[in-house]
């Protein structure tokens, strides 16, 4: 599954139609949420009266089929205008609520990892990005490759050529599963979710090359090969303009939810300029990360990164903005699937592996190493090396010379994790049998395949 995203240039009438579809999706979402809350509150009140379970109001199902069935029963009463828009608009809102309720329930029951998920809230057109998702109907890229066709919206012009997707569609190696129209940063975008047929890659350009990647703030990435990738710091560069636009916005007459005051035209224009400036920063960051990860996946057969606690790093008030601007999590996410595309491997070192405290020459581990110490000094062998470069070399050593947990440079809680290699079939191992490496030789217990 792969996504293709293109900017749209809709006409005024087409934009009004898109907004009406997005409004219908928001209406269906709020209606379903109100129904679920009403049933939950009614059942809670009846339980407080001491009624038995069989006497309570029947519960409202949270799944997509259950909510859709309830909507189809009531839509002629609550939304007599429903034939004016596509049915996919209402399905978009109901599907979003079903996902939100499931995430909330799984988070409460401990089935969902990460921070707690709150109960879904009602959406307003001022605080929600309009979005509509199409899964059925006429969804295609026109032969001129500059227009796309969507159900009920018709023929829409794309801002750039859609030739990359059109080539795959014409060759029969791709099939469009859905299309999502969404507004971000003052522009409309369409994202196609495509089922792509890819040939199993054999290897990257240099399959024997192993590169440890240590991410940071001063340098976005330090490679074990000695290459330093500078951090562009797009947010810091645009900070002066963002502050000026923010001050200009604060001087305008904005909305007031308490009094019902609507924003002025100048406030809306100033808000649009600020949102476009933020969107530009996000686009520059995304473009730089894509170029970096593509380069790494093509040039190296094996890449080793750290499992960083990015959420914990964002709690540091002094470094939070710089960490968020670097995009550590996005860099690792892109490497995960791009190494699969290129036939390489991505290894993730354990979060507790002391890559910065370990000497890359002799393997000695320091007990303490403050963040302000940017040069690593080994008291055993006398190595003097940049801190980040030392960490990158240790990461590469994990794959070049794998060591069992508790000895050598790989000491720590869980030395390494490996993403599956593209094209490798999963084979179930019987209890007590030895694992078999890629070359066919049996591996000792407790040792990972390099």
User: Which range has the worst mean pLDDT, 83-97, 313-327, 409-423?
Assistant: 409-423
Check 88, 214, 299, 325 and give the catalytic one.
214
Is the confidence at residue 445, as pLDDT, over 60? no
Q: Using one digit for the tens of pLDDT, what is the confidence trace for 219-274? A: 999 998 888 999 999 999 999 999 999 999 999 998 888 888 999 999 999 999 99
Distance CA 211, CA 347 (A): 10
State mean pLDDT over 139-155: 94
Q: Residue 423 region, left (φ>0) first, then alpha (ψ -120 to 50), else beta?
A: left
For residue 391, give the H/E element and its range.
helix 387-400
Q: Give the pLDDT of residue 55.
A: 85
- Using an 8 Å Cβ cutoff, are 71 and 90 in contact? yes
Q: Note if 214 is an active site residue.
A: yes
Instruction: Please confirm, yes or no, whether 350 is among the known catalytic residues.
Output: no
Percent of the chain with pLDDT over 70: 87
pLDDT score, position 432 = 34
- pLDDT (average), residues 211-218: 91
Give yes or no for residue 333 having a pLDDT over 70. yes
Distance between CA 202 and CA 200 in Å, rounded? Answer: 7
Summary mean pLDDT of the chain: 85
Q: Catalytic pick from 95, 306, 325, 350?
A: 306
pTM recorded for the entire structure: 0.79
DSSP string for 331-363: HHHHHHHHHHHHT-EEEEE-TT--TTTB-TTT-
Q: What share of residues in the chain are helix, strand, coil (percent, to 5)? A: 40, 20, 40
**Segment 181-214, tens digit of pLDDT:** 999 988 999 999 999 988 866 656 677 788 899 9
More confident residue, 367 or 132: 132
Three-state DSSP at 294 gives: helix
**Which member of 88, 325, 350, 388 is catalytic?**
388
Alpha helices in 49-162 (DSSP H): 64-78, 87-109
- For residue 236, what pLDDT is reported? 93
> Does the annotation mark 306 as catalytic?
yes
Query: For position 204, what pLDDT does the model report?
Result: 61
pLDDT at position 202 is 60
Q: What is the mean pLDDT of residues 334-361?
A: 89
Alpha carbon of residue 435 to chain centroid: 34
Q: What average pLDDT score do residues 119-143 get?
A: 92
Which DSSP helix (H) or strand (E) runs through 244?
Answer: helix 239-250
pLDDT at 209: 84
- Quote the pLDDT of residue 344: 87
Look at residue 417 and tell me whether its pLDDT is greater than 80. Answer: no
Taking each helix axis as running N to C, give the angle between helix 64-78 and helix 12-48, from 0 to 180 degrees, rounded to the nearest 10: 110
Residues 389-404, mean pLDDT to the nearest whole number: 77
Q: Could you say which DSSP state residue 193 is in? A: E
């Amino acid at each position: 599954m792969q996504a293709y995203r293109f900017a749209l240039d809709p006409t005024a009438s087409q934009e009004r139609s898109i907004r009406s579809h997005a409004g219908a999706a928001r209406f269906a979402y709020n209606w379903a949420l109100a129904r679920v809350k009403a049933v939950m509150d009614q059942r809670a009140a009846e339980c407080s009266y001491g009624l038995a379970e069989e006497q309570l109001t029947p519960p409202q199902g949270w799944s997509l089929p259950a909510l859709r069935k309830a909507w189809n029963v009531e839509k002629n009463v609550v939304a007599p205008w429903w034939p004016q828009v596509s049915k996919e608009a209402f399905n978009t809102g109901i599907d979003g609520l079903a996902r939100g309720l499931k995430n909330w329930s799984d988070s409460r029951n401990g089935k969902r990892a990460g921070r707690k998920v709150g109960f879904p809230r009602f959406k307003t057109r001022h605080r929600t990005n309009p979005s509509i998702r199409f899964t059925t109907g006429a969804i295609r890229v026109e032969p001129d490759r500059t227009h796309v066709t969507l159900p009920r919206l018709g023929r829409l012009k794309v801002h750039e050529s859609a030739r990359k997707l059109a080539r795959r569609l014409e060759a029969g190696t791709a099939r469009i599963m859905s299309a999502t129209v969404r507004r971000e940063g003052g522009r409309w975008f369409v994202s196609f979710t495509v089922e792509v047929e890819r040939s199993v890659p054999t290897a990257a350009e240099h399959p024997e090359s192993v590169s440890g990647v240590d991410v940071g703030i001063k340098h976005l990435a330090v490679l074990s090969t000695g290459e330093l990738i500078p951090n562009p710091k797009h947010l810091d560069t645009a900070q002066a303009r963002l502050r000026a636009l923010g001050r200009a916005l604060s001087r305008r007459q904005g909305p007031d939810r308490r009094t019902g005051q609507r924003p002025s035209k100048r406030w809306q224009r100033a808000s649009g300029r600020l949102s476009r400036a933020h969107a530009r920063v996000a686009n520059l960051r995304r473009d730089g990360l894509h170029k970096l990860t593509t380069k790494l996946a093509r040039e190296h057969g094996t890449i080793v990164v750290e499992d960083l606690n990015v959420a914990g790093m964002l709690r540091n008030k002094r470094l939070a903005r710089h960490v968020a601007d670097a995009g550590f999590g996005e860099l690792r996410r892109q490497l995960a699937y791009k190494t699969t595309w290129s036939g390489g491997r991505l290894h993730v070192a354990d979060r507790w592996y002391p890559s910065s405290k370990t000497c890359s020459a002799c393997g000695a581990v320091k007990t303490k190493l403050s963040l302000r110490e940017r040069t690593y000094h080994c008291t055993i062998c006398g190595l003097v090396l940049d801190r980040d470069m030392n960490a990158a070399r240790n990461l590469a050593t994990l794959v070049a010379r794998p060591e069992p947990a508790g000895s050598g440079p790989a000491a720590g809680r869980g030395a390494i994790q490996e993403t599956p290699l593209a094209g490798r079939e999963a084979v179930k191992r019987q209890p007590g049998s030895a694992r078999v490496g890629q070359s066919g030789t049996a591996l000792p217990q407790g040792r990972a395949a390099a």
